[in-house]
Amino acid sequence: MLDRRTLLATGAALMAAPAIAARKSANPNFPKGFYWGAATAPHQVEGNNIASDLWFVENQQPTVFSQPSGDACNSFALWETDLDLVKAMGLNAYRFGIEWARIEPEKGLFSQAMLDHYKAVIDGCHARGLAPIVTFSHFTAPRWFSAQGGWTNPESAQLFARYCDKAMRALGQGIASAITLNEPNILLLLKPMLPPQVWDIQKLTLETAAKRLGVPKYVCANVAGFDDLPALQTGLEAAHKAGKAAIKAVRGDLPVGFSLALMDDQAVGAHSVRDAMRKQLYGNWLEIAKGDDFIGVQNYERALWGDKGRLPAPKGSAVNWSGTEVWAPSLGGAVRFAHEATGVPILVSEHGVGSDDDAVRAKFIPEALAGLKAAIDDGVPVLGYCHWSLLDNFEWIFGYKPKFGLHSVDPVTFARTPKPSAAVYGAIARRNAL
Ligand code: BGC
List CB contacts of 362: < 8 A, sequence separation 6 or more: 419, 420, 421, 424
pLDDT tens per residue across span 266-309: 999 999 999 999 999 999 999 999 999 999 999 999 999 999 99
pLDDT score of 120: 99
For the purposes of burial, counting CB atoms within 10 Å of the CB of 191, is it exposed (0-12), middle (13-18) or buried (19 or more)? middle
Distance CA 142, CA 147 (A): 9
301 ligand 1 Cβ < 6 A = no
| Cα-based angle 17, 23, 25 (whole degrees, multiple of 5) | 145
Q: For ligand 1, what atom is nearest to the CA of residue 261? A: 7
Of all protein residues, whose CA lies closest to atom 12 belonging to ligand 1? 2
Please tell me the total count of domains within the chain: 1
Q: Alpha carbon 253 to chain centroid distance?
A: 24
Q: How far is the CA of 135 from the centre of ligand 1 (A)?
A: 13
> Could you list the pLDDT tens digit for every one of the 434 residues in the chain?
444 444 333 332 323 333 344 455 678 999 999 999 999 999 999 999 999 999 999 999 999 999 999 999 999 999 999 999 999 999 999 999 999 999 999 999 999 999 999 999 999 999 999 999 999 999 999 999 999 999 999 999 999 999 999 999 999 999 999 999 999 999 999 999 999 999 999 999 999 999 999 999 999 999 999 999 999 999 999 999 999 999 999 999 999 999 999 999 999 999 999 999 999 999 999 999 999 999 999 999 999 999 999 999 999 999 999 999 999 999 999 999 999 999 999 999 999 999 999 999 999 999 999 999 999 999 999 999 999 999 999 999 999 999 999 999 999 999 999 999 999 999 999 999 99
pLDDT score of 1: 41
395 ligand 1 Cβ < 6 A = yes
> What domain range is 333 assigned to?
4-431
Q: How far is the CA of 155 from the centre of ligand 1 (A)?
A: 27
- Residue ranges in 226-383 assigned as alpha helix (H): 229-250, 274-282, 285-289, 330-342, 358-377
- Residue ranges in 251-355 assigned as alpha helix (H): 274-282, 285-289, 330-342
Q: How far is the CA of 326 from the centre of ligand 1 (A)?
A: 15
- Cβ–Cβ < 8 Å for 235, 145: no
CATH number at 267 reads 3.20.20.80
pLDDT score of 26: 77
**Backbone dihedral region for residue 355 (phi beyond 0: left; psi -120 to 50: alpha; all else: beta):** beta
Q: How far is the CA of 413 from the centre of ligand 1 (A)?
A: 24
- Amino acid found at 192: P
Choose which residue among 222, 321, 395, 406 to substitute to test ligand 1 binding: the one with the highest number of ligand atoms within 8 A of its C-beta: 395
pLDDT tens per residue across span 127-162: 999 999 999 999 999 999 999 999 999 999 999 999
183 ligand 1 Cβ < 6 A = yes
344 ligand 1 Cβ < 6 A = no
2 ligand 1 Cβ < 6 A = yes
Of all protein residues, whose CA lies closest to atom 9 belonging to ligand 1? 41
3-state secondary structure of 204: helix
Q: How far is the CA of 1 from the centre of ligand 1 (A)?
A: 6
